[in-house]
Structure 1
Amino acid sequence: MRQAPDDISQEIVNNPLYPYFKDCIGMIDETHVDVMVPIKLVARFRGRKGVTQNVLAACTPNKLFTYVLASWEGSANDYRILQDALSRPQPHRLRVYDGKYYLCDARYPTMLGSISPYRGVRYHLKEYSGKTPKNRRELFNLRHSSLRSKIESAFGTLKNRFKILCAKSHYPFSIQVDIVLACTVLHNFIIAVDPSDELLNDDEFNEDIDDEVAFENDTNLVDFTQNQTQREQIESRNEWMTLRDDIAWAMWVDYYDKYNHGVTTET
């Protein structure tokens, strides 16, 4: 087993996608948990999956939750919730580390601290079944999806273990929020004391994949992690998109050096 440097997680080093995602500190995604709310609030919490709370979380490749933000309405836009997570005061804020990033799906933009897949390019693992990548963007999306699927598996494991998250609760809403947080804490405790736990190592509990709304060409998105002018925000996003391009090219060169004798022709 390769030994991880001090600033890189052991899970990333041991992953076959190392060193391409060596600066990745985790994956970001959201999940929906059924809730019971007063009738006057039902419309606010009703979304595509019924009356739910939308829960944003970040986790490591070994399914350890490192950040959880519960209580948002099920109808809330995923990117709006991410903005909230980035703008909250410490210690309730999603931390963005210098030079490090999270992997997220196309519902979130590529910007400071997060890298999403290329839009308009096949992404989910099932789309690549029996097919090989035709260009660097497809290869990047395939490997991005492979690593990011760990958080889908983490959500599936969480709900399979704690059935209370899959049933309507009659507790006050504030307690329903606390139940979500308590279940993630217990989930992390199980990882710490029994990393060989059967449920933790069963990836068949992946959540269903939703249709994604991509923000790739929206240059008006605001980065709440810094006080920046609109021009600085655009320049920052372009830097991170360039980093994604560099990672994609490095993957492609190595891929074809191994399988096509160094020929890097794309289709």
Structure 2
Amino acid sequence: MSFAAFTGLCTILKENYGLQPSMNVSVEESTAMFLRVCGHNEAQRDVGLRFGRNQETVKRKFGEVLQAIELLAADYIKTPTTQQLHRIPQRQQADRRYWPYFSAFVGAMDETHVCVKVKPELQVMYWNRHDYASINVMAICDMNMLFTYIWNGAPGSCHDTAVLSLAQIGDSEFPLPPTDKYYVVDSWYPNKQGFLAPYRSTRNKVVRYHMSLFYIGPPPRDKEELFNRPHASLRSIIERTFGAWKKKWRILTDFPRYDMDIQKRVIIAIMGLHNFIRVSNFTDAYFVEDFTETQTEDQDNASYELDEADNADGQHMANIRETIATML
């Protein structure tokens, strides 16, 4: 992070979240050691050599800073209130690609995998389709690339819809949008109340969705693809957010050095740091570059296996999708 961001972070950790210097280690040095571990996935032994500290000191200071940044994350990862969700941001209204078609949009939701270290007997549960052990982290973000919600309690083998169900069942405060609002989601999710999914391919018809398919192919061929193109573009905000987050914090993608409990705490903490840097308006190259999450090649082919919700819940969202497609 920039020097201004670093000094601002140290000040707020000291003044607001109880991080204090010890006799020989300043708040700045403690924070810098934590950032080396998370930003570069350095082993604590190597960090100790870099800072001239023994490994026990690095471990202790890592825990102290992690605890303080968890408190910071609780303040910086905020789910908007119902009143805030009904207030349409100027940035959203100014973007003619989406306005007024997606006027009820209040966020983009998706999952991403974060490497974890688990016991051998748990490998099967946490082994994902990308061939490594992970937690399937579900998050919601807004148009400003700010995380507004996170659920990191699902094993990597869980399907996206299962993660959503676990979050809704396990979290009594899961932020369902108001009845007239929705999150945009990809084709792995059902099209149901509060979640606007794209048109999916069927066994008899291929409907393109991902932006890369529109870049290399012909323009939208029908109403479904005419809807899918801006929908995919709007939903890509969560992919860019995940991409910037993972690129900055190598601890998320390299070999995991901590057990799962610590790794889960780290995930929350550095999501809080992501939001802190973003809302503080510090210059940061990772928010400028165009990062996107890798899409699996079988996603569009597999998506027809998901059944559309056949109740009033699903029909309501299907009507909204049809209305937008007709407007476009």
What is the TM-score of this pair, normalised by structure 1?
0.82
- State yes or no: 1:207 paired with 2:293: yes
Matches within 5 A, 1:10-159: 10-16=90-96, 17-49=98-130, 50-91=132-173, 93-120=174-201, 121-129=207-215, 131-159=218-246
Where in structure 2 are there 5+ consecutive unaligned residues?
A: 1-83, 202-206
Matches within 5 A, 1:211-230: 211-212=298-299, 213-214=302-303, 218=307
Take 2:319 and 2:86, find their aligned partners in 1: how far apart are those partners? 26
Take 2:279 and 2:176, find their aligned partners in 1: how far apart are those partners? 22
Cα drift, residue 126 of structure 1: 1.3
Alignment deviations for residues 125-167 of structure 1 (CA, whole Å, 9 cap, x no partner) = 1111263222221110000011111111111100111111112
- The alignment's C-alpha RMSD in Å is 2.0
Take 2:214 and 2:127, find their aligned partners in 1: how far apart are those partners? 34
1:108–1:215 contact (8 Å) kept in structure 2: no
**Runs of 4+ with >3 A deviation:** 88-91
Take 2:86 and 2:157, find their aligned partners in 1: how far apart are those partners? 40
1:109–1:215 contact (8 Å) kept in structure 2: no
Alignment equivalent of 2:275, drawn from 188, 196, 199: 188
SS at match of 2:93: helix
Cα drift, residue 216 of structure 1: 7.5
1:53–1:74 contact (8 Å) kept in structure 2: yes
Alignment deviations for residues 7-58 of structure 1 (CA, whole Å, 9 cap, x no partner) = 2233322322111111100111110011101111111101112111111111
Alignment deviations for residues 160-218 of structure 1 (CA, whole Å, 9 cap, x no partner) = 11111112223221111111111111101111012652211211x21101232436862
Q: 1:183 to 1:215 in 2, by over 3 A?
A: farther
Where in structure 1 are there 5+ consecutive unaligned residues?
A: 222-232, 252-267
- Structure ranking higher in helix proportion: 2
Cα drift, residue 116 of structure 1: 0.7
Deviates more, 1:51-60 or 1:7-16: 7-16
User: Which of the pair has more CA radius of gyration?
Assistant: 2
Give the AA of the match of 1:51: A
Cα drift, residue 236 of structure 1: 1.6
Alignment equivalent of 2:312, drawn from 235, 243, 267: 235
What is the TM-score of this pair, normalised by structure 2?
0.67
1:9–1:25 contact (8 Å) kept in structure 2: no
Give the AA of the match of 2:289: D
Take 1:214 and 1:159, find their aligned partners in 2: how far apart are those partners? 26
Take 1:27 and 1:196, find their aligned partners in 2: how far apart are those partners? 24
